[in-house]
Amino acid sequence: MQIFMQQLINGLSLGSIYALLALGYTMIYGIIKIIHFAHGDVYMLGAFFGYYTINVWHFNFIMALFGSMIFCALVGMLIEFVAYRPLRHSSRIAVLITAIGVSYFLENGMSVLFSGDTRDFPQVIKQVNYEWFGIRVTNIQLLIFATTIILMIILQLIVKKTKMGRAMRAAAADPVAAELMGININGTISFVFAIGSAMAGAAGVLIGLYYNSIEPTMGLTPGIKAFVAAVVGGVGSIPGAAVGAVIIGCLESLMQAIGFSAFKDAAVYVVLIIVLLFLPAGLFGNKQPEKV
């Protein structure tokens, strides 16, 4: 039972990291129907920006977190403006290839500028272990849970309660009609990119602190896992992304716990295939069939 609870904690902390990334995927897909493959690399940029501000400007944790969120929001808007906006009316495949291109550009650009070496992240918060009934939780894990939950609540409030949120939902439902109703589509899409990327930036700093190791290719695997989480949860659905991420995180933990560590990634993709076969819209997805 103890071990089970400990593994559950491990799975949850992994899941909440995926959740922060999956939210970005799901929102961006929801509004412009593209898979933003460079999202994992925005997360990497967030980690590196945090590394920079803490080491050079001597930011504390909260300032570094917000600094990275703002920086990534700007990067996200820039990516949208430079790479996706000119392709707004082109075929999906062109946008998809562009997304992969942006991802490669960011990864290799960072490798050239700052070398591909793994580096240690400045430990601005001293780690403390808490132990209850033989279950260990660190203060950084708690911080990750708390940040993830707070950011998700804020996001949900923005989407459901604000004018911008209504614009986002309208643009997601029918961009043409929304534009006719006087909604600034470009502004709304920029805003979505900013929010999604800010979440990724927060994840970058949290991960840097938690694992104490960052490198330019760090966004690749978590990016793909978060994408799977978004699909499992139902692309476009915010609670879906969170639930999907926790499922993926716990699944990985479970596979390692029962001794199939070599197959943990395979298990994630098997789940993806099963969901796509039997529940193409995901767990919380919009079940309306797409009109062709």
Contact residues for other proteins, defined by CB under 8 A? 3, 6-7, 10-11, 13-14, 115-120, 123, 127, 129, 136, 138, 207, 211-213, 215, 217-218, 220-221, 252-254, 256-257, 259, 261-262, 265
Question: In the complex with other proteins, which residue's Cβ is closer, 83 or 257?
Answer: 257
CA gap 69, 107 in Å, rounded: 19
Q: Cβ of residue 181: shortest distance to other proteins, in angstroms?
A: 45
Q: How far apart are CA 91 and CA 70, in angstroms?
A: 31
Which residues is 130 bridged to in the sheet?
137
Q: Which is nearer to other proteins, 129 or 162 (CB)?
A: 129
| Least distance CB 261 / other proteins (angstroms) | 4
Residue 142 or 181: the one with the smaller Cβ distance to other proteins is 142
Give one DSSP letter per residue of 13-81, joined into a string.
HHHHHHHHHHHHHHHHHHHH----TTHHHHHHHHHHHHHHHHHHS---HHHHHHHHHHHHHHHHHHHII
Q: Minimum Å distance from CB 198 to other proteins?
A: 22
Please report how close the Cβ of residue 19 comes to other proteins at its closest, in angstroms.
Answer: 14
Nearer Cβ to other proteins, position 131 or 290? 131
- Any residues with CB less than 8 A from the CB of 12 and at least 6 apart, and which? 145, 246, 249, 250
The answer to whether the CB of 241 falls within 8 A of the CB of 25 is yes
Q: Which is nearer to other proteins, 110 or 235 (CB)?
A: 110
Cα 259 to the center of its chain, rounded Å: 28
Shortest approach of other proteins to residue 22 CB, angstroms?
16
